[in-house]
Structure 1
Amino acid sequence: MIMQIRPLAAAVSFALLAAPFAAQADTVKIAFIDPLSGPFAPVGQNQLHSFQTIAELATQQKWAGDHKIEVVGFDNKGSPQESLTQLKAVIDQGYRYITQGNGSGVGLALLDAINKHNERNPGKEVVFLNYAAIDPDMTNSKCSFWHFRFDANSDMKMEALTSYMAPDKNIKS
């Protein structure tokens, strides 16, 4: 559980660091765009609840001073297309922080759309807090100033696994 809370705390902390640059809003709103229905609903609902718990703790302990932290879930049904629809809706509602993690396909679609939005709307930029989409391209060829990843990508995880396994003579190829 501690391992799961640390990335969530990092995401909220990142949002809090950016909060002073926001338009002095009383509430820092984070849109959670992930599956909340369908076969991956339990995963999405668990992550949403975890983010909301950390947000409540951050608000209670005044991590952002008098600013309130709020995380609201938006169901993308696991679909990149639905995610883009939800992204447009949350931006129209004033959200400037987006978090997502269940699926790199969705993450890549959001990253591209957020980059386009930010290019077209200076002063109304959106930050993508990626908690688990692990495609290496997201921090390599598609690297973006507006994308903050706080999980290792798949190449890093594979390197760690093979480096650990290589010296173990009990593991047969």
Structure 2
Amino acid sequence: MANVQAALSRRGFLGAILTFACITRVPASQSAEPLKIAVIESLSGPQASSGMLFLNGIEYGRRKINQAGGFNGRNVELISYDNGGTSSGASSRFQQAVSDGCQLIVMGSSSAIVAQLSEDTRKHNLRNPDRPVMLINVGSGALAMTGERCHFHNFRMFPIASMSVAALTRVMRDEGTLGSKVFAINQDYSWGQEFEAGVKAQSAKGDFELVGAVLHDVNRIQDFAPYASRIKASGADTVMTGNWSNDLLLLMKACADASLNVRFATCFLDQPGNIGNAGLAAEGHYVATLSNCELNPEFAEDFKSEMGDYPVYNATGATVGMGFLAAALASLPAGEKVDVNAIGKAMETTQIMADNGLQSMRAEDHQFITPLVVSRVGRGAKYPVDGTDMGFLPVARVPADQLIYPLQSSCLMKRPA
């Protein structure tokens, strides 16, 4: 496992995947307990496509770990559970996963479901300190998860809204495309509210004038023309939004139909279908993500060969999270039992140099400290999307130390002995 750790530390999981096949594997110990990962995701209903992307990224990461020799000489196992898109469904699947012997729970979609699974994890571990489980959140940026809801067995491998806003502001300002006036429009729930707060914080620093801010119902608005009219009247140069799914697509189309000459600064523009449906309305817009395929073509091609498509959107985030977990696992000595607390402590001290830069974990609240990549939609991308001639052109990497937010005083983490 030392050779695996060296490869991960040197180039990161995404850069080291082709090295794994050359590493001598640890002989399997049939008496060793296997590491079991439960993926509790929305695999049916309106959010199934999003959940499947998370599942694909996690499965890819599992395969890479196993190709490197697995954990404790045994292949890592993965069991997927459909939460039905509800917190109650997720809670029920959590109990099933524990009964099935899963030690790690990985998921990403829905802040409400992450909060439920985090609480289920906390309560289970209080009742069963000798059989703890750990939650690895690869897609929810709700601030409370590293605040009042933080606990040792809850890790977030995803940026919060203010980190994305800071990255977008910095890169667009340096490119000269931000303009002096910004309009913020977001979905009215925790993520959208926190994204708006991030925009207001950047405005307070003098980066731009905030000329409007609005929150709207989630995935209920069919006609964004009235919002486009408000944006036009404000004189905004840039629209900053944490919107996703139809709320982003319909907003962009409404602004294009109104002939608005504005740029969009987003987090979820790379969701499959957005560019194909928006067409030229998406050209020139920006997105902040954990990575970009153009930064690591070897990884992109390997992912496609394993999973059938290039990694985008939730699949990218899930793969990044699994890469960090792989590095933590590689640092641990072989043993007969899966020690969840030891895995958690290893994640707290893991550092890897990935394709987007140095990644680490803040031990005090388990926030993933990671650079972000800001890309612009345009022609000539190496990996065009949605059957168009456009893709995501990487513009800049923003280092983690320019994005990380202060530790929240509400996080009072207690560590296992």
Aligned residue in 2 for 1:69: 76
Return the match for 1:160 from 159, 162, 167.
167
Aligned residue in 2 for 1:102: 109
Look up the SS of the partner of 1:36 in the other structure.
coil
Aligned residue in 1 for 2:28: none
Aligned ranges 1:48-59 → 2 under 5 Å: 48-59=55-66
Look up the SS of the partner of 2:155 in the other structure.
strand
Distance 1:140 1:163 in 2: 26
- Quote how far apart the aligned CAs of 1:53 are: 2.2
* Count of residue pairs brought into register by the alignment: 153
- Quote how far apart the aligned CAs of 1:150 are: 1.1
Residue type matched to 1:151 in 2?
A: F
- Quote how far apart the aligned CAs of 1:155 are: 2.4
Distance 1:50 1:157 in 2: 21
Return the match for 1:31 from 33, 38, 47.
38
- Quote how far apart the aligned CAs of 1:162 are: 3.0
Is 1:129–1:148's contact at 8 Å kept on the other side of the alignment?
A: yes
| 1:98-129 deviation per Cα after TM superposition (whole angstroms, max 9, x unaligned) | 00101111001111111111111111111001
Is 1:131 aligned to 2:126, yes or no? Answer: no
Provide closer, same or farther for how the CA distance between residues 99 and 169 of structure 1 changes in structure 2, counting only shifts above 3 A.
Answer: closer
- Quote how far apart the aligned CAs of 1:140 are: 1.7
Residue type matched to 1:68 in 2?
A: N
Larger deviation, residues 147-156 vs 117-126: 147-156
- Quote how far apart the aligned CAs of 1:165 are: 4.0
- Quote how far apart the aligned CAs of 1:80 are: 0.8
Q: TM-score, normalised by structure 1?
A: 0.79
Residue type matched to 1:113 in 2?
A: D
Look up the SS of the partner of 1:68 in the other structure.
coil
Aligned residue in 1 for 2:86: 79
Look up the SS of the partner of 1:109 in the other structure.
helix
Aligned residue in 2 for 1:12: none
Is 1:171 aligned to 2:179, yes or no? Answer: yes
Provide closer, same or farther for how the CA distance between residues 150 and 108 of structure 1 changes in structure 2, counting only shifts above 3 A.
Answer: same
| 1:33-77 deviation per Cα after TM superposition (whole angstroms, max 9, x unaligned) | 011111111221222122112212211221525121122210011
Flag the structure with higher helix content.
1
Is 1:31–1:74's contact at 8 Å kept on the other side of the alignment?
A: yes
Is 1:89 aligned to 2:96, yes or no? Answer: yes
Is 2:136–2:154's contact at 8 Å kept on the other side of the alignment?
A: yes
Aligned residue in 2 for 1:16: none
Look up the SS of the partner of 2:56 in the other structure.
helix
Is 1:99–1:131's contact at 8 Å kept on the other side of the alignment?
A: yes
- Quote how far apart the aligned CAs of 1:170 are: 5.0
Is 1:122 aligned to 2:129, yes or no? Answer: yes
Residue type matched to 1:171 in 2?
A: G
Distance 1:169 1:57 in 2: 39
Is 2:32–2:73's contact at 8 Å kept on the other side of the alignment?
A: no
Return the match for 2:48 from 18, 41, 47.
41
Is 2:169–2:178's contact at 8 Å kept on the other side of the alignment?
A: no
Distance 1:157 1:172 in 2: 19
Show structure 2 runs of 5+ residues with no match. Answer: 1-12, 18-30, 182-417
The alignment yields a C-alpha RMSD, in angstroms, of 2.1
Residue type matched to 2:151 in 1?
A: S
Aligned residue in 2 for 1:17: none
Q: TM-score, normalised by structure 2?
A: 0.35
Look up the SS of the partner of 2:114 in the other structure.
helix
